[in-house]
Structure 1
Amino acid sequence: MTRTIVITGGSRGIGRQLARRFHESGDRVVITGRSARVRETAAELGVTGIECDASEPASVETFAAELDGEVDVLVNMAGGNTDLTAPEPDSLKALAAQWNDNLSANLLSAVLTTAALRSRLRPGAAVINVGSIGAEYAGSSYGAAKAALAAWSAGLSAELGPHGITVNTVAPGYIEDTEFFHGKLTDERRAHLIAATHDKRPGTPDDVAALIEFLASPHARHLTGQTIHLNGGAYTTR
């Protein structure tokens, strides 16, 4: 059976590579993004692209109406550290806006998209939320938003589990060849991030895509409610 895969934030980086992998496996893939770039990426990959700002209720409603049929895999990839493109807050009002921006981009986007598609998730479906190693050091608005995403994801697993639907969070560490840092990653910072790993290499988009592909597969049907860290040992659990 051909599965329907929905990937928010799928126009670049990890999302793009994930869309490529699912498409090459024969799945029907739908990617979303906030700009026309998503349609360009979709045309290049041979998948469907729909413009959608996952943090805006009206935009998500429009997307859900345009998407036809049931959903087998939902990957909430949309997000990013909005602090990297914003000025330092100089007032409490600016600080509140900074925190709201990251919460909206990284938590609300997943909540809204999942709620919009929840009734269309097939029994046996998988919801995979993309978190971050930053959630373990949640002093910033980005880290706190990703920590909240993981907590919400665990609760959602308990709600959807009786319907045979798994819910997990993938928390990557430093992943190279993405636009996450918006050109602001220094050589010194990059070297530090790699040195913190056990295998002394950066992660790649395909590392993350391969793990998500496994979580969406028949081999992971009893794996749910978890945050799975993918960081080369930069943050370890036991």
Structure 2
Amino acid sequence: MPRRVLVTGGTSGIGRAIAARFTAEESEADVIVTGRHADTVERTAKELGVRGLVCDATRPDQVAALADGLGGPLDVLVNAAGGLPEDAPTDTPPLEALLHTWRSALEQNLLGAVLTTASVQEHLAPGGAVISIGSIGAERRGGAYGTAKAALAAWNAGLSADLGPRGITANVIAAGYVAGTGFFRGAMTDERHDNLVRETHTKRAGTPEDIAATVYFLASPGAGQLTGQTVHVNGGAFTTR
């Protein structure tokens, strides 16, 4: 049976690569991408040959309506929406600016995944998978962003226990440095790039396709006993033991 796959934040970067991987591997799959802006959602859907739904994962009203647009049971949910926190206006008092940054980080990188998963949870089919995109920043001095990604992994452990009896897995992919995305908002310098590559054992930056390949495996029958885990995809820049 063709699978139905939902990828939040699927209009660019890692999310887009994940949607493209599923369409390439499973021509009959019903792949759905979400994004906050109608124009980018429409363009991505047309380019990849997928369905597009406008949804801001941090907006409960929009997330509540998301399940209605699925069209049936859901086999794979990929929580790929996220990113660096938004800056407060320059004239914001210091403590209010700090609160703005932390709220933005938590909303984008934790609460969006929590809300989306809750909205579609009853639609998840047995044998399905929930995969959320985390970050190596959770293991380092990642500030508000890294803290939110660490909380994502903690939340995932409980989600795995809740979904496991239904035959559904839940895992986090902690991505290392991935080049070729808009994540750094133009702030990546050649020096920083070289330093991040030097940290890896593979001596190369990651690609969106690296993450997409891992997502595809975690959504496969071969990963049916792999759940409640944080899978580090970073070229060895951070190792576990």
TM range (shorter): over 0.9
Trace 1:83-102 onto structure 2 (pairs within 5 A): 83=86, 90-102=93-105
Cα 1:139–1:47 change in 2 (3 A) is closer
1:174-231 superposed Cα distances (whole Å, 9 cap, x missing partner): 0011110011111111111000001110001110000000000011000000000000
Deviations 1:77-126 (A, max 9, x none): 0000125x556775111111110001000100000000000000001110
- 2-structure distance, mates of 1:35, 1:67: 18
Question: Structure 2 vs 1, CA of residues 237 and 120 (structure 1 numbering), >3 Å: closer, same or farther?
Answer: same
> Normalising by structure 1, what TM-score?
0.96
The answer to whether the Cα contact below 8 Å between 1:199 and 1:233 also exists between their aligned partners in 2 is yes
- 1:39 deviation in Å? 1.4
Counterpart mapping for 1:21-32 below 5 A: 21-24=21-24, 25-26=26-27, 27-32=29-34
Unaligned runs of 5+ in 2: none
Residues in 1 aligned to 2:5 and 2:67: alpha-carbon distance in whole angstroms:
13
Which range moves more in the overlay, 88-97 or 194-203? 88-97
The 3 A distance-change label for structure 1 pair 229 and 87 is: farther
Q: Percent of aligned pairs with the same residue?
A: 56
What whole-Å deviation, never above 9, does each CA across 1:21-55 have from its counterpart, x for those lacking one? 11122211000000020111011110000110001
Listed as ranges, the matches of 1:92-131 within 5 Å are: 92-131=95-134
Paired with 1:87 and 1:121, the residues of 2 have a C-alpha distance of: 40
* 2:79–2:133 CA contact under 8 A, matched in 1: yes
* Distance of 2:42 and 2:173 partners within structure 1: 26
Q: Does 1:55 align with 2:58?
A: yes
Pairing 1:161–2:164 present: yes
Instruction: Quote the Cα distance in structure 1 between the aligned partners of 2:93 and 2:195.
Output: 29
C-alpha contact (below 8 Å) 1:138/1:147 kept by paired residues: no
Instruction: State the partner residue of 2:15.
Output: 15
User: Displacement of 1:62 after TM fit?
Assistant: 2.1
The aligned residue for residue 44 of structure 1 is 47
Post-superposition CA distance 1:129-179 (Å, at most 9, x none): 100000011551000000000000011101111110000000010001111
**Given the alignment of the two structures, is residue 71 of structure 1 paired with residue 74 of structure 2, yes or no?**
yes
**In 1: Cα distance, 2:42 partner to 2:23 partner:** 15
TM normalised by structure 2 equals: 0.95
Secondary structure of the 1:232 match is coil
- Counterpart CA distance in 2 for 1:230 and 1:66 is 32
Q: 1:138 to 1:164 in 2, by over 3 A?
A: farther
Give 1:14's aligned amino acid: I
CA distance, structure 2, for counterparts of residue 101 and residue 63 of structure 1: 21
Would the aligned equivalents of 2:88 and 2:100 in 1 still touch at CA under 8 Å? no
Letter in 2 for 1:114: T
Alignment match, 2:189: 186
What is the deviation of 1:66? Answer: 2.1
1:3 and 2:3 are equivalent in the alignment: yes
Q: Distance in 1 between matches of 2:135 and 2:45?
A: 25
Q: Following the alignment from structure 1 to structure 2, what is the Cα–Cα distance between the partners of residues 228 and 90?
A: 39
What is the root-mean-square deviation in Å for CA atoms of aligned residues?
A: 1.3
